Amino acid sequence: MNRINVWSSPRNISTAFMYSFAQRNDTTVVDEPLYAHYLSKTDSEAGHPGTAEVLASQENDGDRVVEDVIFGAYATPVALFKQMTHHLIHIDWSFMLRTQNVMLIRNPREIIHSYSKVIPNPAMHDIGVEKQLEVYEYLSQHNRLNAVVDARELLLNPSVVLSQLCERLGLSFDENMLKWAPGARPEDGVWAKHWYSKVHSSTGFEPYEERQFELAPNLEKLAEQCQPFYERLYKVALKA
């Protein structure tokens, strides 16, 4: 069975990416299976909306998640797991060596601008960009990284980038991946009502639009700290 972990930063296009793969008849998608594990290993009062509901909705033990969810049985030959890189705490990373792996990256200024609308004053560990580079290096060292996908490049030309990605994953490209019905979806985690309002109004990948915005000084500093990690990853990302 083809199991694919997509390692994303928060406030990326990861939910749209998950919806895209959900349109394939050969693929089952799972929304952030390690979220409750992450919350159970951190300060659950850190501002994540709906923390208690998330903890009640999922297995809290990351090792059990790996065994029962990531390596569980599925009715389709492909299973794709939308993952947040910063969820990889207090867990053995070696399970990634038994799956295919994709890094989903985004310009850190855009991440921070979006994330701070839900959780003010995020820190480096919230943004996950530094962690993404750690995961990239780990997977590269073990030759288990299939591709790096940049959000901007994907939005500039979804069919071109998804075609390249599918080839890297040993899949055929499916035009159905470009469109989906608007609204909440059955694969959504219970946290969707706090985070997914914009993607619920979408019917496909929205064209990339350069937006001008200012960040508070502390957030601008965080973006500057994240930028070198992002640039390392962007160099090897699939291009439109």
SS3 14: helix
pLDDT of 119 reads 81
Residue 54 lies in a domain: yes
The token pair that represents 70 in the structure block: 């990531």
**Domain-located, residue 73:** yes
Q: What does the alpha-carbon distance between residue 114 and residue 120 come to, in Å, rounded to a whole number?
A: 10
pLDDT in tens, 109-144: 999 998 888 888 888 888 889 999 999 999 999 999
Per the structure, the complete domain to which residue 216 belongs is given by 2-234
Quick one: pLDDT at residue 46? 55
Confidence of residue 47 (pLDDT cuts 50, 70, 90): low
Instruction: Please say whether the beta carbons of 39 and 86 come within 8 A.
Output: no
The answer, yes or no, to whether residue 45 has pLDDT greater than 70, is: no
Q: How far apart are CA 140 and CA 130, in angstroms?
A: 15
CATH (domain of 142):
3.40.50
Beta bridge partners of 28: 79
In degrees, rounded to 5, the angle at the alpha carbon of residue 114 between the alpha carbons of residues 197 and 202 is 35
The structural domain count of the chain equals 1
Model confidence, pTM: 0.94
Q: In this predicted structure, which of 39-43, 61-65, 172-176 has the lowest mean pLDDT?
A: 39-43
228 domain-assigned: yes
Calculate the average pLDDT of the chain.
94
Give residue 129's identity as a one-letter amino acid code.
V
Element counts in the chain: helices (H) and strands (E): 12, 5
Is 240 part of a structural domain of the chain? Answer: no
Q: CA–CA distance from 145 to each of 5, 96, 106, 184 (Å)?
A: 10, 9, 17, 31
Residue 152 domain flag? yes
Q: Is residue 239 part of a domain?
A: no
55 within some domain: yes
